[in-house]
Amino acid sequence: MIQCSDISIAFQGKIVLDRIALTIPDGAFLCLLGQSGCGKSTLLRIIAGLLKASSGGVTVDGKPVDGPEKACSVVFQDYSLFPWMTTGKNLMLALAASYPQKSKAEIRNLAESYLEMVGLSGVFNQYPAALSGGMRQRAAIARAIAVPSRILLMDEPFGALDPVNRAMLQDLVRELHRDSRGSRTVVFVTHDVDEALYLGTEIAVLGSTPGRVIALEKNPVSRHLPREKLFENESVIALQKKIMDIYRSDMNEKLNRRETFHSGNGI
Amino acid sequence: MKILLVIEFIGLTAAAVWKHDWFAAAAGVLIPAAALVRALLVWNKDRRTAAVDVAAVLEGFLLAWQLVTSNRPLLDPVYFPAPDAVLQQFFGELKDMVHGMFSSLYLLGTAYLLSLGTAIPGGLAVGSSRRLRNAVEPFSKVLSVIPPIVYIPYAIRLLPSFSAASIFVIWSGAFWPIFANTVAGVVNIPETMLDSARMLHLGRRTFIFRVLLPGAMPTILTGASLSLVFSFLLLTAAELIGATEGLGWYVKDRADFGDYTRVIVGIIFIGFVITAISAGFKRIEKRILRYKETVQ
């Protein structure tokens, strides 16, 4: 269980996150939904232990997070893989750090099997630059699930992909989470409402400036509902509308605030 | 350019027949022949044109050189020897020059490796700690702009041998570009990449050798190639001042005796050596950075 209690953080006097309280149960797939600049990536980094909150903190299974958290692995939008290593070596590096007692051959086999799991056999010796964006993200996911961490943190991982690749990778992540049968928790940052509805068992909507949780919703439908059925389901449509309304009013509020700021400045 | 090549070919052959100038004859035949062979070997049209053009420029230069220096020369033959004399000396002096080259390369290699060995670890350490960076920056800013040539007389006086002095001088010049670029290389590694490395919980050694060093490598190589050019400059400068062997010394020594043919021979030889080393460096650089290629 991940527990965020009253997390606040400010950068150069500007409050980015304002008293975020969030409990993420084991096995959940939580989508952190919010517009750009609302601090959702910042929150993810705080959970990962890459960033220290100004006040408040995170605990994983009751233990406070202090420094890069061992229970977490991450997938970013770019630069998750090291470009100077082949895809296979990227996985082997992570595996060797997690399993120091395993032999090189064992590590190699493990890396190969995880690449195969995400549909990437045959790219072991290729450098990331030679792969497509979608393949790179597949490899990054393979590396993140290959290490024995139970929590997978994803920061807009499919933001730079074309729609077809994005849909395929969403299916992959959804499948991986379903197959883990509750042993893996995912926190997934996105600004795409439909992506959140398709992937999340829970959706936390972050309001912007300062970032705070303005809605926390449970996905009303089962994980097994296929994509084409999802947006025909009435409860999903209702939730979609509800989130869009929250989204829109938050955006309007932000725009109004900016306008007054500008006119004040102009005079 | 092809027409130019033909005209030059005729010019050189005419000069050869008229003046019994066998160098001109050889050059006039061999260079177009080489260009032709090269043109036939490469199918790429641009490169074929380039081969012919290079041959034309070379021929033109040789023709002009030949015309102003041989027979009734326009220029003083003491300072401006004819190309055939230079060519003859070039082969005659090759053994001595190769000997000098090894002496120079020993100094260059030692000093260059020394600067790589000090500047890269130093740069990695300074690049990865903001506190260290702030502490070191004022000093590196001042020290790095001092032209290392000014150390030469002092170093020669202070250090026990000329080798030690020139190694010190080359090191002090080659150090800064590598150091500054290593620091910049580390600082410019994308934060996401470092975060991603932190989450892998790598050991310290692994982090340095598998993440920090390769992450900074493209920038380090830029600094290293700059330093290589610096090293040549400083090496020859040091040799001009205090050496008893080596390539720079060879040129200076022949000049002291007024043997300008051999001076030119020495300069041409230095040109070949540096070009070869630079080409070798480029190959190594390309090999290290091959991961950037999008097609493998």
CATH of the domain at A249: 3.40.50.300
Query: Is residue A150, in this structure, part of any structural domain at all?
Result: no
Any idea what DSSP says for residue A65? P
pTM listed for this prediction: 0.83
Facing residue for A79 by CB, picked from B192, B292, B293: B192
Give chain A positions within 8 Å (CB) of B202. Answer: 93, 97
Does the residue A135 lie in any domain? no
| Residue A202 forms part of a structural domain | yes
For residue B214, list chain A residues with Cβ-Cβ distance below 8 A: 82, 84-85
* A59 part of a folded domain: yes
pLDDT in tens, chain A (267 residues): 898 888 889 888 888 888 888 999 988 999 998 887 788 889 999 999 999 988 888 989 988 989 898 899 999 988 789 999 999 999 999 999 999 999 999 999 999 999 998 888 889 999 999 998 889 999 999 999 998 889 999 998 988 888 888 898 899 999 888 888 888 999 999 988 888 989 988 999 888 767 888 878 888 887 777 888 888 888 888 888 888 888 888 888 877 776 555 554 544
- Cα–Cα distance, B296 to B290 (Å, whole number): 9
Question: β-pairing, A55-60 with A63-64?
Answer: antiparallel
A234 domain residue, yes or no = yes
Structure tokens at B38: 């090269």
Position A267 scores a pLDDT of 43
Residues of chain A contacting B197 with CB distance shorter than 8 Å: 82
Residue A203 lies in a domain: yes
- Domains of chain B plus CATH, in order, are 2-69 (no CATH), 83-292 (1.10.3720.10)
Q: Dig out the tokens for A69 from the structure.
A: 């958290």
Q: Which residues does chain A have within 8 Å of residue B207's beta carbon, measured at their own beta carbons? A: none
A42 and A3 Cβ atoms separated by less than 8 Å? no
Place of tokens 């996985």: A91
User: What range does the domain containing A63 cover?
Assistant: 2-71+180-266
Please check whether residue A229 lies inside any domain of the structure: yes
Tell me which H or E stretch contains A172: helix A163-179
Which uninterrupted H or E stretch holds A242?
A: helix A234-266
The CA distances from residue A241 to A200, A212, A238, A245, B51, in Å, are: 16, 20, 5, 6, 69
Residues in B touching A130 (Cβ below 8 Å) = 293-296
Q: In the prediction, which pLDDT does B27 show? A: 65
Judged by CB atoms closer than 8 Å, whether chains meet at B291 and A147 is answered as: no
Of chain A, the end-to-end C-alpha distance in Å amounts to: 51
State the pairing for strand pair A185-190/A29-33.
Answer: parallel
Task: Map residue A79 onto helix, strand or coil.
Answer: coil
CA-to-CA distance for B181 and B124, rounded, in angstroms? 10
- Report the chain A residue with the minimal C-alpha distance to residue B288: A84
CB contact under 8 A, B193 and A79: yes
Q: Is ipTM strictly over 0.95?
A: no
CA distance B17 to chain A (A): 59
Q: What are phi and psi of A190, to 5 degrees?
A: -155, 160
Which residue from B193, B199, B294 is facing A68, i.e. has the nearest CB? B199
Nearest CA in chain B to A140: B196
Residue A104 forms part of a structural domain: no
Number of domains within chain A: 1
Residues pairing with A32 in the sheet: A189, A204
